[in-house]
Copies of this chain bind each other. A is one copy, B any other.
Amino acid sequence: MAEYNFEYFTVRFPIDHQYVAHVEINRPDRLNAFVEAMWLNLAQIFNKLSSDPSVRSIVLSGAGEKAFTAGLDVKAASEGMLSSETKNDPARKAALLRRHISEFQDCITAVERCEKPVVVALHGFSLGLAIDLATATDVRVCAKDTRFAVKEVDIGLAADIGTLSRLPKVVGNYGWVKEVALTAREFGAEEALRVGFVNAVYDNRQATIAAAFKMASLIAKKSPVAVQGTKEILNYSRDHSVQDGLRYTSVWNSAALQTQDVSAALLSGLKKRTPTFEKL
């Protein structure tokens, strides 16, 4: 199994899951809490995988039994913030903060922009940033023991790295989102399943990751032209009218339908064989 490391991340290419990459958050002694280097690395990893032709789907998970991630490393963040407090002018401080937030947002958005579908396997503490990150992936599954919370109001701020923009569109219901975002209360796997935040719940971390791999493998066996088009068009549709979505789809497919994958898939269907598709 090939593998490479970024600081606090391990990226693996398991032999028994062809075309699937595994990204693991790897700072288990600190509950996988994020420091700035980590979100910069996260973006780099997903940008790289996005154009890697040997990758067709991705599993994202957290190392250690205790947490997917407990969120932002608040201690590190508050030290960082202190240093930026050297500016006295609130407008100038605002400019620095704006840039800082935008850069952080862009790192999370790299997961959404990644051309390959991402299945996230959540477990244990999955707080704050865990939600921001999970809503930028395509499919969420979790272990029974997962403890979720949109934790930000508890540290005096409105979540600003993506949760408030993406979570309502992931679950599709504003009433529940407002409750958990305004109260910061914890919710568990079962509730997450009921409201549609996760697609399935498994017994423990291991079973969850296994299930994520199973789904990622299934996706990796399909035509990458079809799969990547489907991800892109669904993301586009979220933010546009149906009429705009249809137009975008017809333009997208005017190139995509010229692929040899269609005839490969049709032929395999007739011959009851598994089709193989060229890299993309």
Does chain B have a CB within 8 A of A242? Answer: yes
Q: List 18 A-B contacts (CB under 8 A).
A: A92-B279, A94-B258, A95-B225, A97-B257, A102-B246, A105-B246, A112-B242, A138-B178, A153-B227, A155-B269, A156-B223, A156-B262, A157-B226, A169-B242, A172-B172, A172-B173, A175-B197, A251-B252
A250 an interface residue at 8 Å Cβ cutoff? Answer: yes
Instruction: Tell me whether A248 and B248 are in contact (CB under 8 A).
Output: yes
In the complex, A261 has a CB within 8 A of chain B: yes
Bitwise, A89-124 to B at CB < 8 A (1) or not (0) is 111111101110110010001001001010000000
Residues of B within 8 A of A238 (CB): 168, 174, 241-242
Say how many copies of this protein the assembly contains.
6
B139, A175: Cβ atoms closer than 8 Å = yes
Given known pairs A168-B234, A259-B156, the reply for A182 and B227 (CB within 8 Å) is yes
**A16 sits at the interface (CB 8 A):** no
Docked-complex contact A237 and B178, CB < 8 angstroms: no
Q: Contacting chain B: which of A3-11, A38-46, A159-167?
A: A159-167
Q: Is A280 an interface residue (CB 8 A)?
A: yes
Complex interface: chain B residues within 8 A of A138 (CB) = 175, 178, 182
